[in-house]
Amino acid sequence: MRRRAEEREDDIKDSLQALFQHRSIHGKGDYYMLLKLKQMVVEYGEKIVKEGLVVATWGNLSAREEDEEIFVITPSGMNYHILEPEDIAAVDFAGKPIGTGRKPSVETPMHAAIYRARPDVKAIIHTHSINASACAAARVEIPCIMEDMASMVGGPVKVAEYAPTGTEQLAGNVLAALGDRNAVLLANHGVVTVGRCLEEAFKLSMMVEKTAEIFIKSRILGQPFSLSGEETCYLKDFYRRCYGQNMEK
C-alpha cells in the first residue's frame, strides 16, 4: 500500500533538510530539480518491469542533471511497483548517500564510476533482460549488426569481465568494456545502458534486448554480418545530428 500523505510529507522535509546541507545543493531550485529526477526514476522503474526487462526487485536506475555531482538512484531491494519519489536515494559522485533515507542500490559504485568517467551520461539503467543476459552468460559480445544499434550504442556491446555485484572491481571492469559506447554486458549478470536522459537510456535497454534476440536467431540461420567501423561512425553521427526533434548542431 502507498504510504499515507503525512508520512510522505515528513520524508520529503527530511530529504530537503539533508540536501540543503550538501555543498552541491544551492537552493530550492536544485532540490526541486532532484525531486523531479526522483519522480522520473520511479516512472522508468515501472516501465522496465512492464517491458519485462527485470523481474521483482532486480536491476537499478539512476539519473543526474547537467553539471551536478549528485545523482539519484533506486533503493536496494524494493519492489518497483511500490516506489515513491522519497524512496529514491540521493548520492554524491563518491557513492556516499546524502542525508537519511533508503539504502541506495548495491550497484551504486558502478553508477558513480560511470558518471565520473563520462560527463555526457545523465542516466543509467541496469537490467536483466533475457536475450542480452543470455549473451552475458555466454560471455559473447553483441556485434553491431543493426543500424539502430550502430546509431545509439555506437558499436558492439562488449562484455565486462566478471566481478561480484556491488564491487569496485565490477565498476572498473564495466568502465573498461563500456568505453565511449552506450551499452555494456556484465558477464554472468545482465546489461547496462547509458544515455543523455532516462528516456534515451530506456530506449537503449529495449533496443539492446531486441538486437540480442536478432543476433541469437540470426546465428541459427547463418553468420550475421556486422556493420563496418566507418558505417557505424556515420550512423552514430547521423543519429546525433539529424534524428528526432532535438538535433545536435
Strands (E), 25-160: 60-64, 70-73, 89-92, 123-127, 159-160
Question: What does the buried/exposed string (b/e) look like for 131-150 if buried means 16 or more CB atoms within 10 Å of the residue's CB?
Answer: bbbebbeeeebbbbbbebbb
Cα 45 from Cα 59, distance rounded (Å): 9
- Verify whether residue 107 is a known catalytic residue: yes
| Catalytic residue (choose from 107, 147, 209, 248) | 107
**Number of helices followed by number of strands (H, E) in the chain:** 8, 7
Distance CA 211, CA 225 (A): 13
User: Residue 82: what are its φ and ψ, rounded to 5°?
Assistant: -110, 0
CA distance 219 to 231: 22
**Cα separations in angstroms, 150 against 27, 127, 182, 186:** 41, 20, 10, 20
Give the catalytic positions in this structure: 107
